[in-house]
Amino acid sequence: MYRKKREMLPVEEVDISNIKYTPQHIQAPHLTGFGFMLFTWLMEAPLIGSLITSFLKHKNGVTEMLKNTVIPERPMFRPEFPPQDPETGVIVLDEDRHPIARLEAAMECLPLYDPSRHWNPDRPSNFLYWTIRDYAHAYRSDITTPLIVAERIISAVDEFNGKKPPVPLLISFNADEVRKQAADSTERFRAGNPLSIMDGVFIAIKDDIDCYPHPTKGGTTWFHEVLTVKQDAVCVSRLRSCGVILVGKANMHELGLGTTGNNPNYGTARNPYSFERYTGGSSSGPAALVASGICSAAVGTDGGGCSVRIPSSLCGIVGLKTTFARTDMTGSLCDCGTVEVVSPLAATVEDATLVYAAMAGSSKADRNSLNPSPLCCPNLSSNNNLNILQSVRLGKYTEWFNDVSNNDISNKCEDAVNLLSSNFGCEIIEITLPEIEEMRTAHIVSIGSESLCGLNAYCEERKYSQLTLDTRTSLALFRSFSAADYVAAQRLRRRIMYYYMEAFKKVDIIVTPTTGITAPKIPLSSLQYGESNYETSGYLMRFILAGNLLGLPAISVPVGHDKQGLPIGLQLIGRPWSEASILRVAFAVEELCLGHRKRPSQFYDVLKAI
């Protein structure tokens, strides 16, 4: 029987004033334990599996959108950006320069360092984390050495691993390798020749990014058997050249295909604010390492927000997702996708800025095809900084903003936005962003198809069976997407890009909560076999997909806690290549909200050991 197709208007003809927001609800079973094992077996069964995936896609509107809708736009197979006006009040870093030179330029952007702010015995009670500049000061002033700090970090990692149940923050860790790097750094300071402001700073690398001599497993038990690491990823090499001490490969949700950080292969990383709760994923280990004070920063990948911004929000730290192709992806497992980037997680906006300055820089191919705007940092030491903040227009889609599981989240985020307005005069403008459900569909088809394509070359049938149940059910869903589905998703990408570019004609930054839920509890039944909870994933991913599908820069900044003491993050989404602009506002948010934040219960002062 012929079914009438839904025909979408050309995007230019859509009357945005008539758009009605529809709350998002994902319909899928919550599964753990034996029930999850049975469901996975059924999903992978040839006939029954296709019936289950067809049913789930129909219930969630995916079939209607991809197969029964006429989408008039041309496909956009990777983010395409219109030319952007130059950012104001910035210092250009010049990505052709050595990372150390870029760091030196970035340092000129920061306010003067005041040692008394953190090193005074009467330091403020709202002091949370040592910064990269604090480490540099401690080393240069002979307060401590990288080697001493390394021993404290090794002890902290051992303590985590020794907990019952274990809390493995690192999948690959070699204490002697860390000591060797720290000894080399200590010797450079003794000789008076540190390489950069980041010499001796400890950084963890997510397990889907190459960091020699560690294997890259992507959170699996076997990926290192089919892919040998011969050198650092480009972003890791840039950090190493600055004297950074690379702690090891941090735990993650297997292959990055999940939002919680659950990993039965190595154990699930726990949230430093509450060990009964998830860190968020897939960069679970990186976020926990930074939040607990063990590392100043970490490097993760962000393909669905679940990898950098979500764990940063749930763990009360800063997560910067850069513009698509802003940083060379060579050496990461996801280096050929169209939604993924490598990006920093850090304790502070300042540290995220410095790590970004050192590791950023597009590949030659992306520079030729995308023509990125210059790599910049906001000049916070300029007298014009306040004037620039006063001119910032913040876009808020209120109905979307308030679609959260807990009013504490929307209230805290709204308080932060209002503080920007009352303290700096930022204008808050109501906007509408249509087709949010369509964006979710386009994203899952894009990242799912690209992930499956990347895995096919390495996965024999027996390898698939060694993946976690969570990963296997995701891959079963991804296999159900056709080439026509993928093209339809790219048509939707072009439509949604149009809506955002139109919004950016009226505003400079779009503000949302980072997540629609604070850190979820870890079911005990999930520790052995994993968990599938698409409702929780929907809340976690509610606000972050535009950054990935459209390639836009975004940052999560902690703004406070809910009534249970769990962190809440505010997300700032910027125009293409506008990292400097969102970092400027993020600095302001961080300063305004510092008094509303507190340290996690699990915290290690590895710099001063007090």
Q: How many CB atoms lie within 10 A of CB 374?
A: 14
Q: Tell me the C-alpha distance between 95 and 97, whole Å.
A: 5
Q: What are phi and psi of 136, to 5 degrees?
A: -60, -40
Concerning whether 241 is annotated as a catalytic residue, the answer is no
Region at 9 (left for phi over 0; alpha for psi -120 to 50; beta for the rest) = beta
* Tokens describing residue 153: 């970090």
Give yes or no: 525 in active site.
Answer: no
Q: How far apart are CA 531 and CA 470, in angstroms?
A: 6
What are the CA-CA distances from residue 218 to residues 238, 255, 282, 385, 491 (Å)? 21, 5, 10, 41, 31
- 389-411 burial, b at 16+ Cβ within 10 Å, e below that, comes to beebebbbbebbbbbbbbebbbb
> Per the residue annotation, which of 57, 172, 206, 321 is the catalytic one?
206
Q: Which residues contact 223 (CB under 8 A, 6 or more apart)?
A: 216, 217, 333, 458
d(CA 337, CA 456): 14
Nearest residue to 318 (alpha-carbon basis) of 540, 519, 586, 90: 586
Residue 275: closest CA among 164, 170, 171, 173: 164
Distance, CA of 252 to CA of 169 (rounded, Å): 9
Q: Is 581 helix (H, G, I), strand (E, B) or coil?
A: helix
**How many Cα atoms occupy the beta-carbon half-sphere of 3 within 13 Å?**
8
The residue annotated as part of the active site, out of 307, 312, 343, 373, is 307
> Is 474 marked active-site?
no
- What pairing do the DSSP bridges indicate for beta strands 376-378 and 202-206? unpaired
And the tokens for 359?
């590791």
Instruction: Name the residue among 16, 57, 346 with its Cα closest to residue 203.
Output: 346
> Looking at 282, 292, 526, 556, which residue is catalytic?
282
Cα–Cα nearest to 182, from 233, 237, 144 = 144
User: Active-site residue numbers?
Assistant: 206, 282, 307
